[in-house]
Amino acid sequence: MNYVRLNNGKNIPVFGYGVYCIPKDECEKCVLEALKVGYRHIDAAQIYQNEEEVGNAISKCGIPREELFITSKIWVCNYGYKKAKESIDRSLKRLKTDYIDLMLIHRPYANYKGAWKALEEGVKEGKIRSIGLSNFNVKETESILAMATIKPVVNQIECHPYGQQKEMRAYLKEKDIAVEAWFPIGHGDKQLLTDPVLSEIAQKYGKTVAQVILRWHVQVENITFPKSVKPERIKENFDIFDFELSQDDMAKIEALDKGKYCPTPPKWLDTIISKFKRA
């Protein structure tokens, strides 16, 4: 496993397992399967409604806690200092752990600055090791940098070969904030997974298109965590550390960028958060 060194000196496994959209009744089994395959980094969130099941897997897996890297994210309705602080304690309880390795502000809405203060306090109290952002644009990131006493270590953003976030990634690199890529294989985008350029590269290395995309993420140092509920895909997605894409193939993938992103915010989210104002 490759690691990325964060701006606070801590290491994060560059590759992990995401649990968005995994139903409650499948989540414990899926996380245990991923841990059996070798994943050590789990990307969770309060809004995914399955922290409890991730916690069950953590407590049952038999892997020492210090070998695991657990991320969660504070959801919009828990923003404001006091509510965010209480929600951190609830996440710890559900995850059945004394500390969360990385906790993020999930989206920049409403009183996210109050939530940031609660995260900083969580670090000082030893409940959280590292804190960061998710779905923040440049202006919103600057608003946190202007008030932060602890610098965010990551910004988790949508990123895949059809939407590579080149400007945002360059900005984050300049600020020494690591990039985390959500929708790493485009949320299963069929067009992306059958792209002729990617298919040709995959054939050349004897790998699948998904593996080529995930390897591209690792080589550009995007920390990422594909989701699958299927044991064979959980294994397939992890099997990317025995080959390396050539510079030529990396350039071909970089040329596939077409600025294709899901709407911000996506429709389903819009209805939930319409009562909160984007900062």
Ligand X SMILES: NC(=O)c1ccc[n+]([C@@H]2O[C@H](COP(=O)([O-])OP(=O)(O)OC[C@H]3O[C@@H](n4cnc5c(N)ncnc54)[C@H](OP(=O)(O)O)[C@@H]3O)[C@@H](O)[C@H]2O)c1
Catalytic residue positions?
A: 48
* Contact between 163 and ligand X per CB under 6 A: no
Which of 6, 12, 13, 18 touches ligand X (CB under 6 A)?
A: 18
Residues linked to residue 72 through DSSP beta bridges, in sequence order:
103
Helices (H), strands (E): how many in the chain? 12, 10
Which of 109, 198, 226, 253 touches ligand X (CB under 6 A)?
A: 226
Give the shortest CB-199-to-ligand X separation in angstroms.
13
* Contact between 165 and ligand X per CB under 6 A: no
- Residue 161, token pair as written in the block: 């070969």
| Rg of the chain on CA atoms, in Å | 18
- What separation, in Å, do the N-terminal and C-terminal C-alpha atoms of the chain show? 37
- What one-character-per-residue DSSP string does 56-124 give? HHHHHS---GGG-EEEEEE-GGG-SHHHHHHHHHHHHHHHT-S-EEEEEE-S-BSSHHHHHHHHHHHHH
* Contact between 230 and ligand X per CB under 6 A: yes
Nearer to ligand X, 35 or 185 (CB): 185
Binding mask 115-154 for ligand X (x = CB under 6 A): -------------------xx-------------------
Give the shortest CB-276-to-ligand X separation in angstroms.
15
Q: Which CA distances in Å does 7 have to 11, 167, 199, 250?
A: 9, 20, 36, 26
Give the shortest CB-141-to-ligand X separation in angstroms.
14
Which of 75, 109, 162, 183 touches ligand X (CB under 6 A)?
A: 183
Binding mask 49-88 for ligand X (x = CB under 6 A): ----------------------------------------
Q: How far is CA 60 from the centre of its chain?
A: 23
